[in-house]
Amino acid sequence: MSDAYSFYLGQPWWLLAGIVIVPMIWLARRSLASLGGGRRIAAIVVRVVVVLLLVVLLAKPMLVQKSRRTTVIAVVDRSQSIPADRAEAALDYLTKAVARKDAQNQLAVVDVAESARISMLPSNDAVIRRRNTLLTGGQSRLADGIQMAMAIAPPDTAVRIVLASEGNETEGDLREAAMTAAANRIPIDVIPLRYRYGNEVLFRRIAAPPRIRSGQTIPLRFILDSTGDVRGKLMLSLNGKPVDLTPDGPEIAVPVELKAGTNVKTVSVPVAGRGLHDFEAVFLADDPKQDRIAENNRAETMTYVAGPGFVRVYDVDGAGQGVARALQEAGINTIRGEVS
């Protein structure tokens, strides 16, 4: 059988309270001596039963259903930064491992790249697709894959997550997702995809404030990882239109020199219009041989630009004119209103 039931007490030490039945019976025999024999025995039995019920309830009896079935959820990294031979080797390993599973166990597959997509819901099938045409592989959001795996985990089986990835995430927090899985008692096994590129640049993300006021400049931080010293250019577009990052020069791109490790470059961009603004940045290496994969050299972010702030001054008979004038002289947009 795949399921089994067991009974246990959550707080068994409460059973020691049943000892009070002994003195209770002795006292009841003396205090109920005036009753007839039958009535006295019935009263003692009722009291004993009530005490025993209270003791058992305090001990928290539980009937637990234990499932011997297991659901393995494979989270497969489909990003293009992984060499094809490493990705194929990982799929071969998963396919061979799944072929040996028990018939009662289930398999699910979640593909992850720029988003997480369910390739197969938990079932008894043992087929893992080699490709996912719905994903471009431009990013690697591993945390989304772990969260999706936890979302489709069946509640009536044990669950294990198997992550096949090189561990290089472009967005999200994989550690936080793993801590959430651990809090739900879901173990995560890892199939590490180890490889090494001699020269590679990875555009991790663009850091920008989520909201600013109209007329302010937006500070943008470009965060890039490089395996070595690389020279190149950073290009930025705002809502699909290129932004001139070097107004004093002939080109709109800004030259940068990346060192081995994490590099942070900062620029400030003025934005006048209100609403949601989409930024997209691209890194172009001067020597293409120093950056083998161009697909991971792009990052995006969005910022909402609100209207300019103002102060509304309400007064009676012009009593607030002085306050309004002082605010205006300080450069604060001020609107006066009369209180009727």
Q: Which residues contact 155 (CB under 8 A, 6 or more apart)?
A: none
Total domains, the chain: 4
Give the pLDDT of residue 73: 93
Same domain, 133 and 210: no
DSSP state of 254: E
Same domain, 168 and 253: no
Give the pLDDT of residue 340: 62
| pLDDT tens profile 184-215 | 999 999 999 887 766 788 888 899 888 887 77
Same domain, 56 and 97: no
| pLDDT tens profile 259-302 | 988 999 998 888 777 788 899 999 999 888 888 777 778 888 98
Core vs surface per residue 229-253: b (16+ CB within 10 A) or e = ebebbbbbebeeeebebeeeeeeeb
Same domain, 241 and 280: yes
Same domain, 86 and 162: yes
Same domain, 79 and 187: yes
Asked if residues 1 and 53 have their Cβ atoms less than 8 Å apart, the reply is: no
Q: How far is residue 91 CA from its own chain's centroid?
A: 25
Domain end position, chosen among 140, 157, 192: 192
Same domain, 319 and 233: no
Asked if residues 258 and 204 have their Cβ atoms less than 8 Å apart, the reply is: no
Give the pLDDT of residue 314: 74
| pLDDT tens profile 18-34 | 888 888 877 777 777 67
Q: Which residues contact 44 (CB under 8 A, 6 or more apart)?
A: 25, 28, 29, 32
Mean pLDDT over each residue of the chain, to the nearest integer: 84
Alpha carbon separation from 218 to 83, 213, 247, 301 (Å, rounded): 37, 9, 17, 12
Q: How far is residue 55 CA from its own chain's centroid?
A: 44
Same domain, 49 and 146: no
Same domain, 140 and 167: yes
Alpha helices in the chain (DSSP H): 21-31, 37-58, 84-99, 142-151, 174-183, 321-329
Asked if residues 227 and 258 have their Cβ atoms less than 8 Å apart, the reply is: no
| pLDDT tens profile 147-179 | 999 999 998 888 999 999 988 887 888 999 999
**Torsions phi, psi for 121 (to 5 deg):** -75, 160
Q: Return the CATH number at 170.
A: 3.40.50.410
Asked if residues 108 and 152 have their Cβ atoms less than 8 Å apart, the reply is: yes
Q: How confident is the model at residue 1 (pLDDT cuts 50, 70, 90)?
A: very low
DSSP state of 259: P
CA dihedral 282, 192, 108, 148 (to 10 degrees): -40
Same domain, 263 and 327: no
Q: Which residues contact 119 (CB under 8 A, 6 or more apart)?
A: 76, 109, 110, 111, 128, 129, 132
Distance (Å, rounded) from C-alpha 267 to C-alpha 184? 42
Q: For the residues of 152-218, what is the DSSP string, one character each? A: T--TTSEEEEEEEE----SSS-HHHHHHHHHHTT--EEEEE-----SS-EEEEEEE--SEEETTPEE
| pLDDT tens profile 34-70 | 777 777 788 778 888 888 888 888 888 887 767 778 8
Domain end position, chosen among 12, 32, 65: 65
Distance (Å, rounded) from C-alpha 139 to C-alpha 178? 19
Distance (Å, rounded) from C-alpha 56 to C-alpha 255? 76
Domain end position, chosen among 142, 170, 192: 192
Give the pLDDT of residue 324: 75
What is the residue type of 150?
Answer: M
Same domain, 315 and 298: no
For residue 112, count CB atoms less than 10 angstroms from its CB and return exposed for 0-12, middle for 13-18, buried for 19 or more.
buried
Same domain, 156 and 258: no
- Domain that residue 102 falls in: 69-192
Q: Return the CATH number at 226.
A: 2.60.40.10
Q: Which residues contact 127 (CB under 8 A, 6 or more apart)?
A: 120
